[in-house]
Structure 1
Amino acid sequence: MNTKFAFFILKLPMAMSMLGHGLVRLPKLNSFAEGMAEQFKDSMLPDFLVLPFGYLLQLVELVIGILLLTNWQTKNTIYAGLLTMALLIFGSSMIENWGAITAQLVHAIYFAVMFYFLTKNELATHPA
């Protein structure tokens, strides 16, 4: 099997998930961000951090999905995905949303698997 095609097939579900998360929230950009701020109002995280993150998250998810589909800057995109998941897991912990953390961990593990296969392939094609 073609390695590039196999890696694309591995990336496709995550690309669709991230793209879908971003696309579905774009029409309701304000309500999503304000809803997130409302969820975090009693947390240790200040509103001046949560509200901008709520706006930015939708765009970050959309861009990550597009970049995974187009195979541009894939390693950096995976880093961005892992960072996004780490921030989401931290935020969910701050409001004790343990159910959301499960889905976020699954995404993080999937990003880590993609990173493993990407770097394993790079090492195989570019030995030290």
Structure 2
Amino acid sequence: MTENRTYISLKPKDVAIAYLLLRILIGVNYFNYGFSRIFNIPGFAEETVKELADSYFPEFLVRINSYLVPPVELIVGVLITLGFATRSALIVTFALMIILKLGVTSIQNWGAATSMLSYGIVLFILLAGNSFNIYSLDHWRKKRQNLADSGAGRQQGRVNFFKNNFWIKRRLQHRLPNHNTFK
């Protein structure tokens, strides 16, 4: 008796497309967070200082971080969406999320803290799966660099070929001084 089994496998191109869509989704999310706050950073900072008034963080530290959050969110949002400096942008975003997590847990805002865990999981997936980031500016730049490097290698190979042939001919001429083949 034979069994009909269906084997399911992940296709690399499908994983790469899923990676692209997840990367764009999270990038747009961070971009919009930053964009919606960037034109009112002082207001955002004041609101954050009020929210974290009962935390153990000093006000000046909360204020400094509040001024930095919107531009960082905006920049990493653009970079992640485009897939440019993706790995670095994801690491910076992880650091940002840790700082924000410290703030929300210091005032025991467990709803926000739980929501932030889902961001952490998505960032982990994107960072760990960075090898699937083939639909990105990073991959395009790497391909161009590899082509340029291989072109330079081919050119160097041609130079070495002719240089080596020259020395082979010179050696043969010394061994066969009356031979006219190499002139």
TM-score normalized by the length of structure 2: 0.62
Deviations 1:27-58 (A, max 9, x none): 22111111101111221100110001111001
Q: Which runs of 5+ in 2 are unaligned?
A: 1-12, 135-183
Which structure has more helix as a fraction of its residues?
Answer: 1
2:59 to 47, 72, 82: 47
Matches within 5 A, 1:46-65: 46-65=58-77
**C-alpha contact (below 8 Å) 1:19/1:64 kept by paired residues:** yes
- Asked if residue 90 in structure 1 is aligned to residue 102 in structure 2, the reply is yes
Task: Show structure 1 runs of 5+ residues with no match.
Answer: 123-128
Q: Which residue of 2 aligns with 1:22?
A: 34
Task: Indicate whether 1:36 and 2:48 are aligned.
Answer: yes
Task: Name the CA distance, whole Å, in 1 between partners of 2:15 and 2:109.
Answer: 38
Q: State the match for 1:116 in structure 2.
A: 128
Confirm or deny that 1:102 pairs with 2:114.
yes
What is the DSSP-based 3-state SS (H/G/I as helix, E as strand, rest coil) of the residue aligned with 2:40? helix
Aligned length: 122
Task: Work out the percentage of aligned pairs sharing the same amino acid.
Answer: 27
**Higher RCO structure (Cα 8 Å, ≥6 apart):** 1
Which amino acid in the other structure matches residue 89 of structure 2? T
Q: Which residue identity is paired with 1:21?
A: Y
Aligned to 1:125: none
